[in-house]
Chains A and B, each alone.
Chain A
Amino acid sequence: MAAPAAAPADAQSQFPPPKVLTYPAAAPPSLITQGAEGRLYKTTHLLPDRPCALKYRPPKPYRHPILDARLTKARLSAEAKVLDRCRREGVPVPAVYAMDPAAGWMMMEWIEGIPVRAAINEWLGARRPPEEGAEPSAEAADDGAPLADLMRRIGIAMGALHRTGVVHGDLTTSNMMLRPRGEGQAVNGCVGGGDDKAKVLEGEVVLIDFGLATQSMSDEDRAVDLYVLERAFASTHPRAERLFATVLESYKDTFKKAPSVLVKLEDVRMRGRKRSMLG
């Protein structure tokens, strides 16, 4: 096969890119992030004006090649199946554009916007000076409204996910994007439309990174999912910790079994994420 000489040999790719990215494209792929199991590139799908995210699970040299190939394929397929299921049920997740499970890559819809983590931090950062002022009580309740509204939208997104029988497995505010609403979509459902500061928290909550997701309908698994987010939230945004109750409040009304998941969450809080004391 005629491998083109013009492979993206930029400085940032200290790792060899997957074979699919060695073929020419209008713009070179850029490495967005790297996890323990895989890497995420931003590139294009079919046409130069169609951005996509390419998730690549590189082969692990320390595993037996046959086992490695099988695990990579199984994990990527499982992720794609979960995304397909969510998308069909109307849960806000990225669509899958193309994939090659044997080669370990998957192209997904590129979600515009910033992670919820960044949005919350920006919002909290911008609000810091007035908080040290003289009258905290008068403004505080009103000022927290856009953030509380975001919390509600997170709760609704999680409820939609759990209703379809999927648990995410790694919910954090980094694994949720805040996608700006397009011209076609109505800009309602958001409070404080005119406020510049509040704009940071506007947009549609889109869940991403389903690498650890599983299909499960059990209250236990769903409660653990909520617990993981609660802990992540408390450590990433300690100043907004009390607002997490709003997430659970809106989650409660999203599907029939939600209240019993919240009851289970009490148990999980008492003992931690692991059910068995043996592991």
Chain B
Amino acid sequence: MALERLQLEHIPPAYQVYAAFFRDVANTDFLQAQLLARNSEFEYAFVDASSVISRLHLLSAVYSALNALLDGTLRTPNVHSEIVVSLNVNNNIADAYRRWGITPGKTKDLIVVKTQETIWAHLTEHVHGTPAPLTDVELALATDWPKIRKYYRLNGVPALERLADEGARRKEGERLAIMGMALRGL
């Protein structure tokens, strides 16, 4: 089973996080239609894996959304859409859905995040893809770096260009992306 249960630091136990990773998802148009219809059965955070670097990157967005939920400062209808919006570096919600959300025809690999309740049976029934472990190695296979560099404004950044080692460059890119999210809208 590829559903993972996560307990983040500084988050009450009642707000446990469940996450799953599906590769080669075939029915993205159906899934997006459910979101657009505000079908409450499908209240998930669907994240396009090509715009995600690593677990830390994903979890930073989840933490930021949960923090907004606990604070009562959600900017979007629910915590799940807030996760998608938290991945952005600015406050443009439509832009965030387009870049990090599910896009029919474009999204191939999908990360699903849900808080507070288990969802596995429902997910495997409706998401037509291959379950994969949500590890940094698997995620890296799906990451589209040119896209990441564009979304997080990492092109031509001196801190990255001076690093010769590809691994070190990705690590720093991840840090700068998380930093960009933390500074969202500033």
> Could you list which residues of chain A lie within 8 angstroms of chain B, going by C-beta atoms?
1-2, 4, 19-21, 23-26, 43-48, 50, 77, 80-81, 83-84, 87-90, 95-103, 106-107, 109, 184
- Return B105 CB to nearest CB of chain A, in Å: 33
Q: Which of B70, B158, B179 contacts A96 (CB 8 A)?
A: B179
The prevalent SS among residues of B at the interface is helix
Assess whether B158 is in contact with A90, with CB atoms less than 8 Å apart: yes
- Return A215 CB to nearest CB of chain B, in Å: 13
Within 8 A of A (CB), among B61-94: 63-64, 67, 70-71, 73
B-chain residues with CB within 8 Å of residue A1 when the two chains form the complex: 70
Assess whether B11 is in contact with A99, with CB atoms less than 8 Å apart: no
Assess whether A23 is in contact with B12, with CB atoms less than 8 Å apart: yes
The 26 sampled A-B contact pairs (Cβ below 8 Å) are A2-B12, A2-B14, A4-B13, A19-B71, A23-B10, A23-B11, A24-B10, A24-B11, A24-B13, A25-B10, A45-B63, A46-B9, A46-B60, A47-B59, A50-B9, A50-B56, A81-B186, A84-B179, A87-B175, A87-B179, A89-B158, A95-B178, A96-B179, A96-B183, A106-B182, A109-B175
Interface size class of B (residues with CB under 8 A): 20 to 34
Q: A90 to B14, alpha carbons, bound, how many Å?
A: 40
- Return A186 CB to nearest CB of chain B, in Å: 11
B150 within 8 A of A: no
A-chain residues with CB within 8 Å of residue B56 when the two chains form the complex: 46-47, 50
B-chain residues with CB within 8 Å of residue A80 when the two chains form the complex: 182-183, 186
Query: How many A-B Cβ pairs are below 8 Å?
Result: 91
Q: Mark B18-56, 1 if CB is under 8 A from A, else 0.
A: 000000000000000000000000000000000000001
Q: Which of B14, B64, B162 contacts A98 (CB 8 A)?
A: B64
Nearest A residue to B174, CB-CB: A95
Assess whether B8 is in contact with A87, with CB atoms less than 8 Å apart: no
B-chain residues with CB within 8 Å of residue A46 when the two chains form the complex: 8-9, 56, 59-60, 63
> Could you list which residues of chain B lie within 8 angstroms of chain A, going by C-beta atoms?
8-14, 56, 59-60, 63-64, 67, 70-71, 73, 157-159, 162, 168, 175-176, 178-180, 182-183, 186
- Return A214 CB to nearest CB of chain B, in Å: 16
Q: A43 to B10, alpha carbons, bound, how many Å?
A: 9
Assess whether B71 is in contact with A100, with CB atoms less than 8 Å apart: yes
- Return B166 CB to nearest CB of chain A, in Å: 13
- Return B186 CB to nearest CB of chain A, in Å: 5
Assess whether B157 is in contact with A88, with CB atoms less than 8 Å apart: yes
- Return A212 CB to nearest CB of chain B, in Å: 18
Q: A154 to B139, alpha carbons, bound, how many Å?
A: 39
Q: A113 to B176, alpha carbons, bound, how many Å?
A: 22
B-chain residues with CB within 8 Å of residue A81 when the two chains form the complex: 183, 186
Q: A100 to B179, alpha carbons, bound, how many Å?
A: 13
Q: A90 to B154, alpha carbons, bound, how many Å?
A: 12
A-chain residues with CB within 8 Å of residue B67 when the two chains form the complex: 20, 98, 100
A-chain residues with CB within 8 Å of residue B183 when the two chains form the complex: 80-81, 84, 96, 99
Nearest A residue to B15, CB-CB: A23
Assess whether A88 is in contact with B158, with CB atoms less than 8 Å apart: yes
Q: A102 to B75, alpha carbons, bound, how many Å?
A: 14
Assess whether A77 is in contact with B12, with CB atoms less than 8 Å apart: no
Assess whether A95 is in contact with B13, with CB atoms less than 8 Å apart: no
Q: 12 extra interchain contacts, Cβ-Cβ under 8 A, other than A46-B9, A87-B176, A106-B182?
A: A23-B10, A24-B11, A46-B63, A47-B8, A80-B183, A81-B186, A90-B158, A95-B175, A95-B176, A98-B64, A99-B182, A100-B67
B-chain residues with CB within 8 Å of residue A184 when the two chains form the complex: 168
B-chain residues with CB within 8 Å of residue A45 when the two chains form the complex: 9, 63
Assess whether A98 is in contact with B63, with CB atoms less than 8 Å apart: yes
**Given A46-B56, A98-B60: A20 touches B10 (CB 8 Å cut-off):** yes
Assess whether A4 is in contact with B12, with CB atoms less than 8 Å apart: yes
B-chain residues with CB within 8 Å of residue A24 when the two chains form the complex: 10-13
- Return A101 CB to nearest CB of chain B, in Å: 8
Q: A95 to B70, alpha carbons, bound, how many Å?
A: 24
Q: Which of B9, B162, B175, B178 contacts A25 (CB 8 A)?
A: B9
Q: A187 to B11, alpha carbons, bound, how many Å?
A: 39
